[in-house]
Amino acid sequence: MNIKKIFAVAGNPILHSKSPLLFNLIFNNLENDFHYSRILSESPEEIIDLAKKLNLSGLNITSPFKESIIPYLNELDETAQKIKSVNTIKNDNGKLIGFNTDWFGCLMSLKNKGFDFNQKKCLIVGVGGAARAAIQALKRKNAQIIIVNRTLENAKKLAEEFNCKFIDISAIAQVLQESDVLISTLNYFEPEIFLNNINPNAFIVDAIYHNSKLKNSLIQQEFNHLKDKYISGEEWLYYQGIESLKHFLGIDYDNEINKMNLYSEKLFFNKNNIILSGFMGSGKTSIGKILASKLNFEFIDTDDLIETSENTSISEIFENNGEDYFRNLEFNIIKNISSKKRCVISLGGGTLTNLASANLIKKMGIRIFLYSDLDICLSRINQAKKPMMKDKSYFEIVELYNSRINNYCSNSDLILCSNSEIEKTANLIFNEYKLVVNE
């Protein structure tokens, strides 16, 4: 199954992101054959390299890359230039154009509560990309802006850049009592600092939706009176997302049901297993074994199970019975292990070309596409033992590789580059998975 367009959100960490939930629901409602995944990376350069090699139609960018991604783009729109932060990238026939839609997420979160911005006193906590976007939103509506940050010098620098006020953290109690809005873009302050001092009529806008300390503190009985004024990070996420959609597809799509789905605390994928896909030589088996050992999971290689069940090699099955026979065997093997838990499963290079297998795998666990450049893949394998590559010219192998990339992307919950050391890639996945499982 080939998908026409692929989109993703890139960051580190990233598996917690609800952006795929939002966009894939929208794509499904619009009956578009598109897919939205996640990219885990350690550098902005790698993110852009992957975006080009995977021919992604668009990207959302989250922490910690909203500012560091800028030098790798071909163009910025006017708002992104002002904010100096990018959370949306459109691939316009190879030209990567950066936008910022976080300001819209902040603006609409308050506007939908009936907030009158004009000359209202707004306290922004933080100096990063989200804080810069909030300043842009508030300045458009003639609000009074005050910045506070753990490091005073950084608050002063940002205030001077945008011609607004700043305060030392020691003065926060008095300012909170006089503020009409608190916008929190950080998650390391203890929320009681804000909640014990805030004007009870002030709105509280949270830019954080994942493990927000502010949100968790509002559950406490002593802060119940502030709940009605709290605007969660899901609101911000939703409105910046639909504004991103305008850049991606040129459409305006607002649906309250899709927004409500973002409030679900349940994981939107099965975390019982980790399922590795990718081209032959992408490191699925080597990475899978290391990962299984670190997690104390069972390791399963579907090709090994097929060879054991048939008592012959994959090459001989292809040669004697053909690919259709093999894909049917493969489906039955996957069906047999579909109820297993705590497994790292390495798929064959062509497993996801079978729609029945792909649909079954989707329900079994977190699907991770390991991308490696073709030359690196070829350096890791014995082509003579790979039936889909045996007796093929280099040109034919390139054609096979390119035909499968879109398929791997469209059947993924997470994408990462496995060009580097196997151990390093396994550690990246391990750390990411543990963050999700420990929630």
Any bridge partners for residue 144, and if so which? 121
Q: Residue 245 and residue 60: Cα distance in Å, rounded?
A: 10
Give the C-alpha distances (Å, rounded to integers) separating 121 from 144, 147, 159, 205, 240.
5, 11, 15, 13, 23
In the residue annotation, 229 being an active-site residue is answered as no
Instruction: Report the 10 Å Cβ neighbour count for 337.
Output: 16
Which residue bears the tokens 């350096």?
Answer: 379
Query: How would you write the chain as a 3-class SS string?
Result: CCCCEEEEEEECCCCCCCHHHHHHHHHHHCCCCEEEEEEECCCHHHHHHHHHHCCCCEEEECCCCCCCCHHHCCEECHHHHHHCCCCEEEEECCEEEEECCHHHHHHHHHHCCCCCCCCCEEEEECCCHHHHHHHHHHHHCCCEEEEECCCHHHHHHHHHHHCCEEECHHHHHHHHHHCCEEEECCCCCCCHHHHCCCCCCCEEEECCCCCCHHHHHCCCHHHHHHHHHEECHHHHHHHHHHHHHHHHHCCCCCCHHHHHHCCCCCCCCCCCEEEEECCCCCCHHHHHHHHHHHHCCEEEEHHHHHHHHHCCCHHHHHHHHCHHHHHHHHHHHHHHHCCCCCEEEECCCCHHHCHHHHHHHHCCCEEEEEECCHHHHHHHCCHHHCCCCCCCCHHHHHHHHHHHHHHHHHCCCEEEECCCCHHHHHHHHHHHHHHHHCC
Spot the catalytic one: 66, 90, 229, 386: 66
Q: Which positions are catalytic?
A: 66
